[in-house]
Structure 1
């Protein structure tokens, strides 16, 4: 009878947390730098406000598009590695079983149990076992890009529209 792992760990979300922290830091530094640069040119308070708002909107949308491209690139690399591993398993499953057992021996298992574990895991899910143990790819840590490339175009266009709208609105208010 199979046992399902039901515990939730923070590492499942660490990639997104890291991106959020780096994005927030980047947004604060770049927006503050932009406002300081405009202030140094003796701009009016209205111009500073419009610059700050436009910088915040543009930065947020830029980070969203950048994160998509980054995650999509990682997913492409993972898929290419998985295709190579799939081909290796089809070409020489015995060598791949020995390789998997060797990884367990390197972790501290004796040769006999390592061989047994490798054989059982490969019988159950050979590609999954190699993805986890050899490539370091698991469901929790694999890249998951947004579905569809149209979103990059959408968010880029929205960033430009919102930035232009924010500049026009704050320019009219001031």
Structure 2
């Protein structure tokens, strides 16, 4: 009888050397999220008995893919905005003022979706018809922005190379 790893007997501490090695290049603020995602994937695979080799080798691959997926996903996240609004409609006795004031601060971490759409529409002719189908779906279809370009190309019945080229061209366009 073999000693098979199960969710119940899996020791997450065995992942520490993998995390220490792979996550050293990951931004400090992103490490916990990547770790959580990787552990969830590993435990799910163990539970579904999808681990074919030893758990350590499997876990190493899963953690690497979690890092790639995390950064790919977050590089595709286009809008990450936060806004702080302050309004005072009366006297500010500490400041010696009796006038109303309104102020706001906004922090744009990413490139606004409306900016991407504008840049794309202004340069629409630079894309092939297949690339336009992929980008149009991604930018103008509900839920399209949450899909990976290869998923969109598969959904539309197009070769995934069109998706790759479309995203490269769109990225260059938005960075210029």
Please tell me the TM-score bracket, short chain as reference: 0.3 to 0.5
If each structure's helix is expressed as a fraction of its own residues, which one has the higher value? 1
More strand by share: 2
State the structure with more CA Rg: 1
Q: Which has the higher contact order (CA 8 A, sep 6+)?
A: 1
**TM-score of the superposition, structure 1-length normalised?**
0.33
